[in-house]
Chains A and B, each alone.
Chain A
């Protein structure tokens, strides 16, 4: 199947700093990517839909100024957690959708905010 990568796999940052997470589709073009958040032993919660060349669509309750999403190309979407706080610590997962609507997940990024 298609491969989606995320970078970094783990990041630790100080409270108040911003962190950028990259999601790349390595062998296909993804017009749409999705960002999820997963708390320990819990389900995945859809945060936003990222469309190439347009603004992201955020799910209800997700702060768009807090979680900035940019989908600058057909193979790259980035999630920037701005002014991170300890409550933003979580596992962030992206997925990429190909042209036949198959969806492939990245391996996730563990964010720890001190």
Chain B
């Protein structure tokens, strides 16, 4: 079974600052994908960033970047220049390469960006 652990239930950061959200996972698979999703108060799930396990290079999407440490099974999300609109619940998710589409989510981290 795959497990995804987010050890920070809540985080807060001041606008324009940088924050890092932690995620670890456990799997015996070698082919998998990792994701960070954002769920704002509207409850709409939004994909933030995606990382393929076979890629050594860390994924980057504008202000969002990940630190993917495969050996340590760690997948943290760094948000630079935080904006008020980044306030949301952030979920780390795992997908096996053999069962594409089935996502397993962590418990989430509620991020609040303060002005």
Contact = CB atoms under 8 A, between A and B. Distances in A.
A43 B101 contact: no
B44 A46 contact: no
Given A42-B107, A43-B91, A43-B106, A91 B101 contact: no
Given A43-B106, A43-B108, A44-B91, A103 B101 contact: yes
Interface stretch (A13-21, A78-86, A93-101): A93-101
Interface residues of B, number: 16
B68 interface: no
B113 interface: no
What is the size category of the interface that chain A forms with chain B?
Answer: 10 to 19
Nearest to B104: A46
Contacts, number: 42
Nearest to B99: A49
Contact of B43 (A34, A95, A108): A108
Nearest to A96: B101
Contacts of B44: 105, 107-108
B28 interface: no
A80 to B, nearest CB: 21
B71 interface: no
A107 B105 CA distance: 17
B70 interface: no
A97 B91 contact: no
B73 interface: no
B42 interface: yes
A60 to B, nearest CB: 9
Give the top 4 A-B pairs by smallest Cβ distance, nearest first. A105-B45, A43-B105, A97-B101, A44-B105
